[in-house]
A and B are shown apart, each in its own frame.
Chain A
Amino acid sequence: MTSTAHNVAVPPQHRIRNFLRVIFSNNIAPIALALIIVSAVLSFMTPTFLTPGNLSNIVTQSSVVGIAAVGATFVIITSGIDLSVGANIALSGLLGAMVSQATNGYFGILTVLVVASLLGAINGAFVAWLRLAPFIVTLAVLGMARGMTLQISQGNSVYGLPEALNWLGNSDFAGIKSSAILTIVMFVLGHILLSRTTFGHRIYAVGGNSEAARLAGINVKSIVFTAYVIAGFCAGLAAIVTLGRLDSATPNAAIGAELNVIAAVVIGGTSLFGGKGSMVGTFIGVLLIGVINNGMTLLNVSAFLVQFVQGALILLAVLLDALNTRRIRNQRTS
């Protein structure tokens, strides 16, 4: 197979082949298959699963994790990690709620997004410029953000938010929740940013080999920083959805959300080693987790067991990622 094509334009059949190649090389095919199988099994086991209402419900319930996972995909492809997403949702949501009560809903929205992006910027600054390990930095920020949330709120929720702030999490168009629409929009934007722009291309380069990227003239630090800011911003959007859904800000909002977010990204074929992954994969990962959660609810599985299954899924995904990476590495050295 050493055919060197002579033509310059890309014929359509190559496009299809390339699309298939992208699907397979990013480990999307197995996860898509898993999604189909799990969905098929569930639709046999419960009559309610395959109803339009339930399907739209899955996307709606997945929206917080999904929106945050869009940002986390960028971070993880740079071979980083963001553990602070849940705490970020709680803190930015709380501050936004307080500001909205003092002023109006629009200032509330602005506050949420600015606070969330700032937390992302703090993560990014420590990781990119001070070169600290992302795991430790974001774990520390998780602790600080959650602690500040509890301190400021004194453990109490803030109830009764203005309509403008609740709108994203609480309204619907033609029966589809606005949070589900926002999730889809964010995935589309994320996909375009990651696969069609030079920024996304640089993200892959930095995650694949940061030294080679630097020597090729890519500003590695600003790329890494930006990835964390995007993750923070997405956490902010997720916070707004959370606020609207509950019509309140609770200090314990989104506890442990990072687990689901990282699980979705990794299950979706993005490598924790960096340099590999896709938004399409993350979307399917989010859906798979959503479908499994939904299915377990429909089948009346204990909530305790739900968390166990999520943990097991992460372990499985990481195992597959490591095996796949090792297989490729072995091919290269032989």
Chain B
Amino acid sequence: MELASSTARRCSYFFRTKSILILWMLLMAVVFWTTYFHYKYDPKYYYLREMLGSSLYLSRGTASMLNISCCVVVLPMCRGLGYLLLSLAGEHSCSLIRCWINESKKIHIICAVTIVVASILHSISHVINAQNFSHHYNYHFKDVNVANFCGEDPLFTVLGTVPGVTGVAMVLVLCLLCSSSMSYVRETCYDAFWYTHRLFIVFLVLLVLHPISGVLKEQSNIDHHIPGCRMDNLTHTDSKTAHLERLHEYFDECVVQPKFIPQNTQTWKWVVSGLVVYVIDFTYRLIRRRSTSGVAAVNNSQASVLELTLETKTRFSFRPGQYVLLNCPKVSLLEWHPFTVTSCATADQAKFTLHLRTNGDWSLFDQSEQTSTFKVPYTATRLYIDGPFCSPSEGVLHHRVSICVAGGIGVTPFASFLNYIRVRTRNLDKLAVKRFHLLWLCREMQSFLCFTDLLTCIQNQMWEENRPDFIDIQLYLTRQYRQEQLQNILRACPGLVYKVQFGRPDWPCLFREWEELYRGKLHCSLLGNSSCLKWRKYDCTRQRHRIRIMMTYSLETFILTYQCYLRIKVPNMTFHGHTLHMLMVISIIHIQGR
């Protein structure tokens, strides 16, 4: 009984986490098989089948897979669309939609892999088709042929037709796209990936042109000419179908020659519909894109973090946890970099703040000098803003208990939550979240300083409102310091001494504490950055043996490689006979150097 229930649990968990993949594979299988059998049994394609054999069905089956996946592959990249969908659905939007939008990159990759696999099969089958076209040249009905004469070199057959040339070009473009989007290339030279990926437009245009000249022909006059009725004259008579034999019982012979017309192509409908959605999304983002009227304030007191307060002409509305893309034309015209909005949107002001950790060669201030100075006079600097966009960390507000683990600058989404809560201290009961644990881990003491004021302020406000249990903030300093160094550092930052703990968090102890605190249903959101990811993963897997958590890890990278969100799902944990529903989301904000 125990075994059966655990198996059922594991199965349901598997189907929930892999729902997208399973649905997609089912769809692809259905599409493939319907097209495959359509071409295998439809009498219109009798003469093509005579020449090409089974590679015809394979090529057509994979072609329809390609049509659909080339349409779907652009949809997850419409971030404006995702934002609109979630905004329309409101704050209490369906978790499935939210989950799908958050996993948009995963969907994109699944579609891309489908395209690659289908293209390989499609190319192989067309290579064989080309050979068959030239070897099994049809002397009786010359219209159906693609080759010019019997025994033509298939290479010239392919290169002499529009579909052949576009097909070859598409495989080359696809190869470039794939090789440049391997994870190692994305990590080391992001520009190669980013600029090469713009070739997708070329790919889609070629895809529209590929079938449009109609090389593969179907017979149009089946009523007047029974396919294969002059079979004794044909070179290949081994594949009679039952359907034709039945027809032969009624008709003795045909008098009319078969007519061949190009097939109706469906490809452009799919590709154009995908492209139209993409273009609409892109235009929407262009319209929404705005320039800041100026930088209101710059706080660069911390060594590597720059606090920018930006002002826009119109009111800028966003929800906590969302991010914007920032472009500084004086640094680079083409580069848009994502940053989480850390302040809270209020009705009366058009200001918002961003925290920028300087890393890599795109930075707004000079790193070469010891004291960080703004590259250009900041009041005159014009920055461009694209966004806001949704991020998975928005989910923190929708769960009863949120346990957030942040590493370094990864705290920015939570800073915006804290700001959000700070404005709403008087009506905390209206929020879905009832308790907010924040574990913030930093290597350097200085890193804590960028949000010291916020943390102190919110703590005081919570005490004033008599709700000190609403927020639990724990700070961890993880770097190894010598004792005297530590004392010096702590003396330098007096405001925080009472909260900072040394070393990494004691996870088993914390888990035990949460286990005692929250019995019943519980949602946890864990956020951190990639350097803490390794040991977090280790700790979670070690925990799994003790408290039987099932976990999967899926890394999501947004726009550029800078923001990575990791999602851990922990379904149906059993503690002391209680069943816990836990959802942990680890989100990593990892700013990489370009």
A and B part of one assembly? no
Please list the residues of chain A having a beta carbon within 8 angstroms of any beta carbon in chain B: none
